[in-house]
Chain A
Amino acid sequence: MANTQSMCTSFMGQLLTATHNFGTAPTRGTSAADTFKAALYTTTASPAINAATTAYSATGEVSGTGYTAGGVTVTNATAPTSTNSSSTAGVAYWTPSANLVYTTVTLTTAFDTVLIYNSSQSNAAVSVHTFGSQTITAGTFTLTMPSNTTSTALLRLSTT
């Protein structure tokens, strides 16, 4: 079989576990798992929460009874997975192992965004997920996680 150009699928999986560090002065060295959190943002957050977001900020975050600034801790019991689909393509993926649940909160300002971030690494932003505008009154807001597969996982890195 001929050689083919591709990003190595194993590398994509290792990106999700910080095996590689291309910085010129790497400083990170730990065997402890990072803690990830999920914060909710209002529909009018300014600056907007998007691909340019670099870290968690309380600016634009929801506030209300029962909600703690910074959001909830993401349950992470399943390590990232990487799977080849061919000699030139593959997917590395990860999904929290439990739903994100904000129990008995009152959030009267409409919100439509959750930011996943790494609270162990200076609150560095990971991903932004949007949905239809919501408010909660003395109730529970639940974000159900998708199935942890190559096509549906919450975070996916891919070569095609």
Chain B
Amino acid sequence: MIVTTTKGDMDDSLLEKKEGSIDNDIEYTTWTEYWLDGELVHRSAHVTLKTSPFSDLVAATFG
């Protein structure tokens, strides 16, 4: 697979791949990194938000 890197497009067989994720109440996030000779040359991230702003509207009471 060809990967876009800071060195140009490279075949992933030439790179070290690292992956990780975060899963908490706020988000589920995954990321993929490719390293070349100890240098980070590609990092992508994918965030899925679990919470969002919520506004509660109130109609005032008379009296």
Q: List residues of chain A with CB under 8 Å of any chain B CB.
A: 5-7, 12, 104, 106, 127-132, 134-144, 146, 152-160
Contact = CB atoms under 8 A, between A and B. Distances in A.
Contacts of A142: 44-47
A157 B56 CA distance: 6
A5 B61 contact: yes
Contacts of B61: 5
A131 B57 contact: no
B4 A138 contact: yes
A106 B6 contact: yes
A138 B53 contact: no
B48 interface: yes
B29 A131 contact: yes
A133 B55 CA distance: 25
Contacts, number: 93
Overall SS of chain B's interface: strand
Range, interface on chain B: 20 to 34
Contact of A141 (B6, B45, B59): B45
Contact of A7 (B5, B6, B48, B59): B59
B22 to A, nearest CB: 5
A65 to B, nearest CB: 9
A153 B54 CA distance: 9
Nearest to B61: A5
Given A5-B61, A132-B22, A153 B47 contact: no
B48 A137 contact: no
Contact of A154 (B40, B42, B52): B52
A131 to B, nearest CB: 5
A143 B44 CA distance: 11
B58 A7 contact: yes
Contact of B49 (A136, A141, A146): A146
Contact of B57 (A5, A7, A138, A140): A7
B50 interface: yes
28 contacts: A104-B4, A127-B52, A129-B52, A130-B26, A131-B26, A131-B27, A131-B49, A132-B47, A136-B43, A138-B4, A138-B43, A139-B4, A139-B42, A139-B45, A140-B44, A141-B44, A141-B45, A142-B45, A142-B46, A144-B48, A146-B48, A154-B49, A154-B52, A155-B53, A157-B55, A158-B56, A158-B57, A159-B59
